[in-house]
């Protein structure tokens, strides 16, 4: 195998995000549901036999040493001498948006190079490597919508009903570090239990969670503890929430922002979404049942 092309790296939305505490090492403990959506970056990987790693920016210019190259270096330790790669990245998911674009790119890179180099590392090993790159990487490697706990590494798959969402990214981005270092960040939201989230579905059997399809009402569960800080630091977050609210949509921020989203009714609203203020990225997205590369590692 000399190349693998058109590899998707989907974004995610946080249906809610609760900060429940902080570890002694400074990492925050969270609870969330991560949901894959069909807003994707695309990667292409080609084998190099000189042991070098290189990256080509096919759309947006990326930082010189981004998560894709860091992921490739972390995996190359397990490769045979002389195995390298050239990686093309077509970036479409906005940065500093709370949508996990960089982490998703890293996960897709790990899955692709694991196959290109014939390493056959199990998913558990890739997830261990991924966690050192970023807390969201194991989720994208896992390949399924998930209830997330710990610092992002504890994943319980959940099955969500198909749904459509309006996703809005204002021109301004947000630095995750600024959000989590804010003195006014809420860090003591009471711990929820997954069956409490799932109880939003009347038909759920709590003992059979992994095989249950959760009802549409779970999309309204909880809140995002990062949102008040983000709105203070970036007024455009409030503007986006209010803009969606004016269309009768209940919006909240995803991750550490600055993107916000709202569940759409059955009838598409694409015509209204096209009227967004200049400079905003607005997209109508659908959730994904599984990651397109789910099953690429055992």
Active-site residue, selected from the candidate residues 12, 91, 169, 263: 12
Contacts of 10 (CB under 8 A, 6+ apart): 36, 37, 38, 39, 40, 104, 140, 288, 291, 292
CA–CA gap between residue 195 and residue 46 (Å, rounded) = 44
Give bridge partners of residue 3 from the DSSP assignment. Answer: 46
CA–CA gap between residue 254 and residue 275 (Å, rounded) = 22
Q: Is 184 a catalytic residue?
A: no
Contact 91, 62 (CB under 8 A): yes
DSSP 237-274: HHHHHHHHHTTT--EEE-TTSS-EEEE--SS--HHHHT
**Using N-to-C axis directions, what is the helix angle for 67-76 and 101-116, rounded to 10°?**
30
DSSP 40-61: EEEEEEEEESSS-EEEEESSS-
Q: 31 is written with which tokens? A: 């609870």
Place of tokens 């194991």: 138
Contact 291, 13 (CB under 8 A): no
Active-site residue, selected from the candidate residues 41, 66, 105, 136: 136
Q: 17 is written with which tokens? A: 């995000």
CA–CA gap between residue 74 and residue 66 (Å, rounded) = 12
For 176, half-sphere exposure in the C-beta direction (CA atoms, 13 angstrom radius) is 15
The residues carrying an active-site annotation are 12, 136
């Amino acid at each position: 195998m000399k190349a693998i092309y058109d590899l998707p790296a989907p974004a995610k939305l946080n249906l809610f995000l609760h900060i429940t505490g902080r570890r002694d090492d400074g990492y925050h403990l969270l609870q969330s549901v991560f949901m894959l959506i069909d807003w994707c970056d695309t990667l292409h990987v080609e084998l190099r036999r000189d042991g070098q790693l290189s990256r080509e920016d096919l759309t947006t210019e990326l930082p010189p040493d981004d998560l894709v190259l860091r992921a490739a270096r972390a995996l190359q330790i397990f490769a045979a001498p002389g195995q390298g790669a050239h990686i093309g990245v077509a970036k479409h998911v906005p940065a500093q948006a709370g949508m996990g674009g960089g982490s998703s790119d890293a996960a897709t890179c790990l899955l692709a190079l694991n196959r290109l180099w014939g390493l056959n590392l199990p998913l558990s090993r890739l997830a261990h490597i991924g966690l050192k790159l970023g807390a969201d990487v194991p989720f994208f490697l896992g390949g399924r919508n998930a209830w997330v706990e710990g610092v992002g590494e504890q994943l319980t798959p959940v099955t969500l009903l198909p749904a459509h969402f309006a996703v809005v990214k204002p021109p301004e981005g947000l630095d995750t570090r600024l959000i989590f270092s804010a003195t006014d960040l809420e860090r003591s939201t009471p711990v929820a239990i997954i069956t409490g989230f799932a109880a939003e579905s009347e038909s759920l059997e709590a003992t059979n969670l992994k095989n249950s399809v959760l009802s549409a009402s779970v999309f309204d569960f909880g809140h995002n503890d990062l949102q008040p800080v983000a709105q203070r630091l970036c007024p455009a977050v409030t503007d986006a929430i209010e803009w969606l609210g004016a269309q009768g949509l209940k919006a909240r921020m995803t991750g550490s922002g600055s993107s916000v989203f709202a569940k759409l009714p059955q009838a598409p609203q694409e015509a209204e979404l096209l009227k967004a203020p200049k400079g905003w990225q607005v997209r109508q997205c659908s959730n994904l049942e599984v990651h397109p590369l789910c099953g690429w590692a055992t």
